[in-house]
Each structure stands twice: as C-alpha cells, then as structure tokens.
A and B are shown apart, each in its own frame.
Chain A
Amino acid sequence: MNVRAQVSMVFHLDKCIGCHTCSIACKNIWTDRKGTEYMWWNNVETKPGTGYPTRWEDQEKYRGGWEMDPKKQGLKLKLQGRLGALGNIFHNPYLPSMDDYYEPWTYDYEHLFNAPEGDDQPTARAISMITGRHMDNIEAGPNWDDDLGGSPVYADSDPNLAALTPDERSQLNEIERVVFFYLPRICNHCLNPGCVAACPAGAPYKRGEDGLVLLNQEKCRGWRMCISGCPYKKTYFNWTTGKSEKCILCYPRLESGQPPACFHACVGRIRYLGVLLYDADRIEEVARAADRDLVDAQRGIILDPFDPKVIAAARAGGISDDMVVSAQRSPVYKFVKLWKLALPLHPEFRTLPMLFYVPPMLPVLAKLKDGLYEVDGADSEGLTPLLTSLKQARLPLRYMASLFSAGNEEVVEAVYRKLIAVRLHMRSQRVKDVPEVEAHRALAQGGITPEEAEAVFRLTSLPTFDERFVVPPMAREMAIEPTENPLARKQAAGFGFRRAAKRRW
C-alpha cells in the first residue's frame, strides 16, 4: 500500500443555479491577462449542451484520455504513442483551435464618447482581443448555449444524447418537457492525468503532497500535446506566451488555509473540498477496469482514513498526522465513499478524476391539465410520485449514466434511490405530508438508514463554511503575503514571475 493524499472536490448539482459566479471569481484572479482572455479554468455548462470547447466530450474528435489497448491488455493514450508524439510535434492533428472555444472580444466604448455628431446614435462595435480588428460576426462566446440558448444547434449535438432513443431525443425538444441542468467544471486533478502523460517535455506534474496537477511554465516548450491529452479540455493554450496553462486549484489560497476562489464564491454553496487518502499502487489497475466497474473501482482505491492500517501506512509514506485528521473530516470522503452519492464525470476517460458530482434530481414528466401543471398519478397518490418517480424523469437515467458512470445505469439509479430516500424521509419528518410508511419504503429501497439520511441532509442543506471546506494543513501558510502586495500584482503574470510574461525574443 502506497498511501498518498489528494485534495478532492464534490459539486452538488442540485444546488447549482448556473450563476457563473465561480467562473468570474476565477477569471478575475487568474485569467485576466493577455493571451488568457478566452480561458475559463472554471466554466459552467448547460446540459444537454455541447459545452466548452464545443463538443469536448467527443473523443473521436479530440482524442483525450486513455483507452484499453485490446492487443496488449494495457492502457494507452487515445491521442498517440510515444513515437507518434514526436512525429506529430510539428502539427498536432487533434488540437482544438481558438474557433472551437471562441475569439475573445471587447467593445469600442470610446466611440460612444468621441463619435462626431450625426443623425444616429453611435454604437460600440466589437473589437477582437487578438487582432484588434472589428468583429462584425460574433459566432461564439463564453456560455454561448447557456440555458439551452440555440438548443436545436447546440443541445442537439450533445455527445451524451447518443445513448438515447430517437423518441427520447425528440421528447427533449417538446416545450412542456424541456429540461436542463448545470455542469460546472474545473480541472479534475486526476490520479492518472492524461495531460501529464501526453506532454513530451514533462511540464505538467502531480504535486506529491496534495495531488494537485500543475504545469511548470519553465519546462513547457509549447509542444501542445497536453491540451489534446486532457479529455476534459482543462489545459489551455496561452496564445501570447505560447505555453499551456491550467487550473491550479488556487494553491496559493490553499496554502494559506483558504478554499479556492471558485469554491469560496459559490452562491449556491454546491462545492465541497477535502482530502482523500488513496493507494497509489493501484492507479493503473483501477484505470484498466471494465467500463461498468469503473465507478466501483474508483471508489475502491479510496482508503478509509479511520482504518489503523491505513493510518500506519500513511505515516510510513510520509503523510503528516494533520493530513490524516483532515482526511477524516473530509466532506468528499463522505459523499464519495461513505454514502456513494457523488460520481466522477466520464469515468470512461480513465484518468481517475478527483472531482465528483452529486447528480441533480431530475424533474419528472408532467402534463398541463386544465391550465395546471400536473404530475402523472399525483391526484391519486399525492406527493409521492413527484418525489419518487425515476421512470418518468424527463432526462432519462441513461443520459446521466452516460455522464457519470460510463453507461452503467445501476450505479446512477442507486444514487437516485438514495437521494429520493433522503427527500422523503426529511419531508415526512419536517413537513409531515408524506406518510411514514412511504418514507420507510424509500429508505429501504435506497439502502440508507434514517441517521445517514439525516447526515446527508445536514451536509447538503445546512453545512457551515468549515464543514464544506476542509482545507488540508500545508506548511507554507502566508509565506508570500508579507512580501508581496496581491493587489499590486493583479494582472501580473500570476505564476510567480518576476518579469512580465511577454515575448522578448
């Protein structure tokens, strides 16, 4: 057993209101520099939708992540082999280009003040932040398909819809049944990262102490393979410096005991942060699991931080006792391992992502009846169908399985059974309009005790700041702040450069 600590995350999608505050918090700190305007280390997508960059989940196009090599029974990068990397180095055939994201622009505001007198109101034309030229046709932008905007074009080409029948797909477009939810995304800080494996120069690396995946700017030579290697498209190319950049999980904040900015700023309080202990010797074995076993295998690599054997092994591996205590308090451990409620995004990419999602409760199918919105069976059975109907979910379980369990519907259904049980149990306790027998049945079906249900409810609805963010203890608290004025360095390089990151050669 080779115990390592990993700072990990849970996003509770039921609580996400799609306000993009997380994205803005991140952008203001990290990506307001030249060359990074188009980057959203944190972005929020509408699902169904094509996301950012467009259709990033389509690995036939982008070749991210790993796949099983049927010949060698081993893992290989979907992108290319080692020789292939050197052969494709002059031109990477699978690199997304700026048009797969969008061309960043600003507006000619000055014209509003300086325009000569005329018959018409002056306008502020869009100006490209790359070329400085006017852009008359803006064809994409951040959150272009937000809230299903343009869904016949965008939502319809969501790669996950391939799992649905034509009937189910056409239902999604019926106005009474339209449904969507939000999917906030940051770097998953994977255990088996594709970006690290794909880089010829060895610039991205996993930090041993806390598992953050960072990218050494001094080592990056602009071979741009990491962007293809990451199946989540969470490494980005800075077109000014010619180097790749990515989410750093605000490690300067972590090191001073604060949660990352996107976590801190989250209005819906959907985000949880905590340490997981895992067995690094088993990474490859887990990444090779069959599709339907991937979620279970990934849960299996996470170790019980209360187990004396694990604690002893952690100590032997140089993990501090503080870190173990932190892992014991981790909300992520509870959601992922103890309650099995949070699932990895697209585990079939086999990078072992360390950001987990509690899937959203799906709205149920309903009809308009006499001008009222009515759930099937609600007149005869009261509230229960509204709270329990999984079969009638407007977004089929298969869609969720395509996102969160490599297509294994049983895994997703088990999560939903539990979430429903929590709801029914708490409703019967608090509002008392659900009969207790109903609640008991739901608990039995969900395989969860009343005590657990209450704990899930508490951590979901009423957690304190310190319960949501159990930031691990890192030794370098506040080492920087006395010597650097953060405000003065805003818009500076942001990576600890002492010189502006511009071209001098």
Chain B
Amino acid sequence: MIDIVLFAAFPYMAVLVAVLVGVYRYFNDRFSYSSFSSQFLENRALFWGSVSWHYAVIVILLAHVLALVFSGGWATLIAAPVRLYTLEVIGLALSASALLGLVLLILRRLLNARIFTVTSTMDWVLLAALLAQVVLGLWTALFYRWGSDWSLATVAPWLVSLAKLSPQTELVASLPWVVKLHMLGGFAIIALFPFTRLVHLVTFPITYLWRPYQVVVWNWRKKQT
C-alpha cells in the first residue's frame, strides 16, 4: 500500500501540481517567472557556485533523461566495462562539481548579508531539497555501484510504466532506501518547481540563437507592410 502511495500516487500528484500551478503562475503572475539573479549584489562567489552548479546539474539531468528515453542505446553504451567506468567517473566528477557549487551557493546566501536579505523562504526550501537530492544521488553512485546498469532493469521500466499510466511499483519495491529517497526527491523537486525560482528552467531563452537583434513593437497602429 505504502508503495502505491509513494511510487504511484505521489509521482502523479507531483507532475500534476507542477503543470497546473506552473501554468497558473505563468498566466497570472508572469512577472515572477525569473531566475531572480543575485549577481548584482555579489559577484565572485556566485561565479564559482553558479557555474559549477549549473553546468554539472544540467549535464547530469540530461544524462538521466537520455538514459531513460534511449534505454536500449544506453545499455549497449555501457555494455563495455571501459565505457561504463568512463561514464561513472564523469558522472562522479559532475556530481562533485554540482555538490561543491551548491554548497557554495548555500553558504553565500547564509553568510553574505546582502544576499541573505534577498533570499525568500522558498529559496531555502529549494536549496535544501536540491542539496538532499544531490547527496542522495552521490550516495547511490558511491555505495550502490553501477546504477547506470541496474537502474535499467528497475527504475527505468518503473518510470516507463508511470508514463504509460499503468504503474508497476513492484519494480522498485526492493531497492535500498537511499535509492528510493533519491527517486522520491526527484518528484518532490518537480512538485516544488512551480512554487520556487526553478521556473527559470522553462524560460531558457533558446530563441536568442535565431531572433533578429533588434525588436520593434508597434502598439497603436499596425505598420503597413
């Protein structure tokens, strides 16, 4: 029963909350869709914290998603031990970078008086959640070795079953608790997404790559072309 609540009900709820509240926030409080940059108040620590955090976490997230979506390809990729070790080492290095960056960001918010004043309660909640999630992920990687391999038979099909709306919680029922907490943490962060600054994720300005440099807006009269 508890498995159903945690590994079926909770994930669906989290995604539902993320989508509904996210959409609501976008249409009712678009002004708040922002990264809430604090670089203007503190520049140096942010460089080390933000750069090592973001580059690492974005690559790790992408790796999670790609391994899930192309699990067949992923399996062949890690079939050769050399490639498996290489990937694990890269993963560990990135996790370390993410962890260090995140700790630095948290310390910066705690210790710098200017940054402390512009930190909201939800900022603290988010940072704590992310820290827990990164630690759990690193823990899994270190003490439950070759997760990129065993997750293909457990976590991946479970997520696929969730996506197919026929959740098979028994797939993950026997995993260690640390791993389960990492999985739950992921969905907890998805649920947090619309209530925090994490919304900046979906506003990634990819269109900058091709939009014309100058933007001219005609308000009152449509210019004849």
A-side residues, CB < 8 A to B, are 77, 82-83, 85-86, 89-93, 95-98, 130-133, 192-193, 196-197, 199-202, 204-209, 217-218, 220-224, 237, 239-243, 283, 316-318, 474-476, 497, 501, 503-505
Contact = CB atoms under 8 A, between A and B. Distances in A.
A83 B209 contact: yes
Interface residues of B, number: 54
B32 A97 contact: no
B164 interface: no
B41 interface: yes
A132 B114 CA distance: 9
Given A96-B40, A97-B42, A130-B41, 13 more contacts: A97-B39, A98-B41, A131-B113, A131-B114, A133-B113, A199-B208, A202-B205, A205-B217, A207-B217, A239-B118, A241-B34, A242-B34, A505-B199
A149 B122 CA distance: 45
B31 A501 contact: yes
A505 B197 contact: yes
B34 A222 contact: yes
7 contacts: A224-B40, A237-B37, A239-B38, A242-B35, A242-B38, A243-B31, A283-B214
Contacts of B211: 202
Interface string B20-53: 0000010001111111111111110011001101
Contacts of A497: 31
Contacts of B195: 505
A91 B50 contact: yes
Instruction: Give the 9 A-B CB pairs with smallest separation, nearest first.
Output: A200-B205, A208-B218, A197-B213, A242-B36, A200-B208, A205-B215, A90-B54, A131-B113, A237-B40
Given A85-B208, A200-B208, A206 B40 contact: no
B120 interface: yes
B200 interface: yes
B41 A221 contact: no
B55 interface: yes
Contact of A90 (B36, B38, B55): B55
B30 to A, nearest CB: 5
A91 B40 contact: no
A317 B215 CA distance: 18
B166 interface: no
Contacts of B224: 316-318
B214 A505 contact: no
B208 A221 contact: no
B34 A206 contact: no
A82 B210 CA distance: 8
Given A90-B55, A503-B120, A208 B223 contact: yes
B216 A206 contact: yes
Nearest to A474: B220
A505 B46 contact: no
A170 to B, nearest CB: 35
B205 A91 contact: no
B145 to A, nearest CB: 31
B207 interface: yes
Nearest to B48: A91
Contacts of A207: 216-219
A318 B221 contact: yes
Contact of A92 (B36, B39, B208): B39
A222 B215 contact: no
B122 A505 contact: yes
A98 B216 CA distance: 30
Given A130-B117, A208-B219, A209-B220, A222 B208 contact: no
A359 to B, nearest CB: 29
A201 B30 CA distance: 13
Given A98-B40, A130-B117, A242-B34, A90 B50 contact: yes
B203 interface: yes
Nearest to B120: A503
A196 B47 CA distance: 25
Contacts of B222: 318
